[in-house]
Amino acid sequence: MIILKKQYITHRRFYLVVSILLWILWAGTPDDAHGQTISADSLKKDSLRKVAVKVQKKEAVALSKQYDIGDLVNTIFHPHKKPDSVLKKSSGITVIPNVAANPTIGSQIGIKAVAGRKLGNDPTTLLSVAATSASITTKGIIYFYINHNVYTPGNKWNFQGSLVAAKTVTPDFGLGIGRQNVEGTEADKILADPQRKVYTLKSLYFNFREKVYKEVQKNLFVGAGVSFDIRRNIEAKDTTNKMTPSRIYNEQHGLPQDHYSANGLLFNVQYTTRDNQNRAYKGIYADAGFRVNQTWMGSTKSAVQFTTDFRKYFSLSESHPEHVIAFWNWGSYLLGGTLPYLEVPGTARDGSFRSGRGYTSTYFKGTQYNYSEVEYRFPILRNGFISGVTFFNLQTANDELGTKLFQVWQPGGGGGLRVLFNKATRTNLCLDYAYGKYGSKGFFLGLNEAF
């Protein structure tokens, strides 16, 4: 009877969270999105298309004044060539050496391609983006991935997915947020790691993820999908003893030490009005959903997570819209079950692995985790070729020794430069230097904005 009561309470909480989520999204939908007749909807769509065409032409004029790497190449090698019309250049592919550096991976070399294109002729269709990369780093990491975020004409469907195969080397700083007054056994102190001692976890990693969204109202999508996260040959290295945070966590939760699978179903709701997927000047992006890991799908343990991703962009100037204040909040919360150690949410564990600049990946982590960042983006050169950013972030997590979510916060921040690679898709080369606590700092290099 007690077990049934606990299950009943768990299910009530689950459905309560779902109901609240759907109510918030419904309430946040513009009033004119409800109860429209077909004729009114058609008129609205025609009006939106006309507005979109005007905006597109206005943006084309602004883009013609900008200068990117392609213009630089033409200036050097084809000085007399007439530039292509920006109106025709509605898509672009950028292929570059994948040179990167940050404290997690060390120095990286490889090749990377980023593509952007609007599908169909409807001017209201959002930009579809895709990327692929193969690289190797000085820390022994070998990484290959393909990912995509595709909107069909008129935004009727949205497909998001990725495929990853990698040999990874992950720095591990234990569980929690670095709370100093940790009490308990020796194992408890190692797991919470308040001194931020670094351990190393090596493994083979394979991931396949695909989500399909259907537009149900203007800018509002409902979707579902699957995710398979597989780790093999996990090795926990420590020169002093066998008491590493990962070993302690696995023993406490009944998990294998050298392998696991976290396979589950995804259920999401998405709302988006941002004007570009790579570098938004305005709009909102919000995504919330559940991940349900299931043993019948091959998952080592069952688990239910609730994840939120919210981004808001404020353009500060109509004549120079690249003056932007951007806000980001990302959170992941375990509602029930058990997560493998390397699947516990934390620093840089968001979908693009870009959160927490100033710290290495998973520097802080917990089964309940929340991250916030604000960034100011501004032009430096009038032609847009060079611009800059400053940013500040905060992260918080729980641990298994009584520290609650939002009880302890850890800050990070820094600044950087942007080099415009492709003005049609707003693809930037990002060079950032960031600081955190415990002497953590580093140089972060990559393509496209962190969020």
The predicted-structure confidence for 332-369, as pLDDT tens digits, reads as follows 999 999 999 999 999 999 988 889 999 988 999 999 99
Residues 441 and 346 in one domain: yes
**Does residue 219 fall inside a structural domain?**
yes
Residues 17 and 111 in one domain: no
What's the pLDDT tens digit per position in 241-274? 678 999 999 999 999 999 999 999 999 999 999 9
Domain with 251 in it: what CATH number? 2.40.160.50
**Does residue 48 fall inside a structural domain?**
no
Residues 29 and 72 in one domain: no
**Does residue 49 fall inside a structural domain?**
no
Domain that holds residue 422: 66-447
pLDDT beyond 70 at 220: yes
pLDDT score recorded for residue 1: 42
Residues 200 and 265 in one domain: yes
Q: Report helix, strand or coil for 48.
A: helix
Mean pLDDT of 406-415: 96
Residues 11 and 108 in one domain: no
The first and second tokens of residue 97, run together, are 């050496």
Residues 21 and 159 in one domain: no
Residues 153 and 24 in one domain: no
Looking at residue 82, the DSSP 8-state letter turns out to be: P
pLDDT beyond 50 at 207: yes
Q: Report helix, strand or coil for 125.
A: coil
Residues 107 and 237 in one domain: yes
What's the pLDDT tens digit per position in 141-150? 899 999 999 9
Percent of the chain whose predicted confidence (pLDDT) is above 70: 81
What's the pLDDT tens digit per position in 94-126? 777 776 666 777 777 888 888 888 898 888 888
Distance of CA 273 to the CA centre of its chain: 17
> Do 387 and 377 meet the contact criterion of CB atoms below 8 Å apart?
yes
**Does residue 45 fall inside a structural domain?**
no
Query: Which residues have C-beta within 8 Å of that of residue 62, sequence separation ≥ 6?
Result: 321
**Does residue 383 fall inside a structural domain?**
yes
**Does residue 52 fall inside a structural domain?**
no
Q: What integer best gives the mean pLDDT of the chain?
A: 83
Residues 235 and 362 in one domain: yes
pLDDT score recorded for residue 59: 62
**4 phi/psi in degrees, rounded to 5:** -65, -35
Q: Specify the length of the chain in residues.
A: 451
Give 427: exposed, middle or buried? Use CB within 10 Å, 0-12, 13-18, 19+. buried
Residues 134 and 18 in one domain: no
Q: Which of 173, 170, 167, 178 is nearest to 106 (CA)?
A: 170
Residues 21 and 145 in one domain: no
Mean pLDDT of 49-58: 57
CA atoms within 13 A on the CB side of 256: 14
Residues 20 and 75 in one domain: no
**Does residue 394 fall inside a structural domain?**
yes
Q: How many domains does the chain have?
A: 2
**Does residue 333 fall inside a structural domain?**
yes
